[in-house]
Amino acid sequence: MTATAAEQPAAIDPDRLPRHIAIIMDGNGRWAQQRGLPRIEGHRHGVKSVRRITEECARLGVEQLTLYCLSSENWRRPQAELSFLMHLLEQYMIEERALLMRERIRVGMIGRREGIPDSTLAEFDRTVEICGDNDGLRLCLAVNYGARAEIVEAARRLAEEAQAGRLAPAAIDEETFAAQLDTAGMPDPDLLIRTAGEMRVSNFLLWQISYAELWVTDAAWPDFDESHLAAAIASYAARDRRFGGLSPK
């Protein structure tokens, strides 16, 4: 579903709030190019959107926010842009610690650590440690993440367990499989938001979004703000989620 911020509600019913919101943050580069700026300026402004949306989700009482920061396919981009993205992530981990602690936000990461600079990983791990006892919103960053690779790795681990005789193939069910994914222990997304108008999920949480409600806006990520988030949540709250069954109405 495509939408605009004009659909925003006056208030959000806390009883209809999605438990887990996942966002494909798209359009940073195009946002910059439309303004005659280098692509990296779009990423720089995109960090401001991360800050305000994270803070707003914490204020609303959302349980988890998962942000698609860098896909495993994004390594095909120019090295200068990738280096800048890693620098931004490292800087974010340092500069946002005060906000994360004030809002009692926990931090985690899904995706492969290979290829991410050691200094970036060190600051990320330090922030995870600092925020480890927080009991508020869980902020999950998908970095060097690809859902197909995640599913293949889960299948490989289960196959190894079965081959070693520690797991009967007949015992493998959805719960067993989900426990091998990067997102083990996390609730599945209720609402998937994509910015910049693209109508695809781009190898993001393919297993986990099986029953997520989709909401797409033409706004590029640097322009995405609290009003867009409110519109997405209002659209979600108005939907009849049947999960393959019939509506109780």
Contacts 24+ apart (CB under 8 A), 126-132: 126/93, 127/93, 127/94, 127/96, 127/97, 127/100, 130/97, 130/100, 130/101, 131/97, 131/100, 131/101, 131/105, 131/106, 131/107, 132/106
Q: Are strands 64-71 and 2-3 parallel, antiparallel or unpaired?
A: unpaired
In the residue annotation, 26 being an active-site residue is answered as yes
Residue 71 backbone dihedrals phi, psi, to 5 degrees = -85, 160
Q: Collect all residues with Cβ–Cβ distance below 8 Å to 209 and sequence separation of at least 6.
A: 22, 188, 189, 192, 201
Q: Is 37 helix (H, G, I), strand (E, B) or coil?
A: coil
Active-site pick, 13, 15, 26, 190: 26
Give me the phi and psi of 68, to 5 degrees please. -85, 100
Catalytic annotation present for 74 = yes
User: Which is nearest to 122 in space by CA: 95, 93, 144?
Assistant: 93
* Identity at 220, one-letter amino acid code: A
- Which residue among the candidates 13, 15, 28, 74 is catalytic per the annotation? 74
| The dihedral sign for the CA sequence 235, 190, 242, 12 | negative
Give catalytic residues, as residue numbers.
Answer: 26, 74
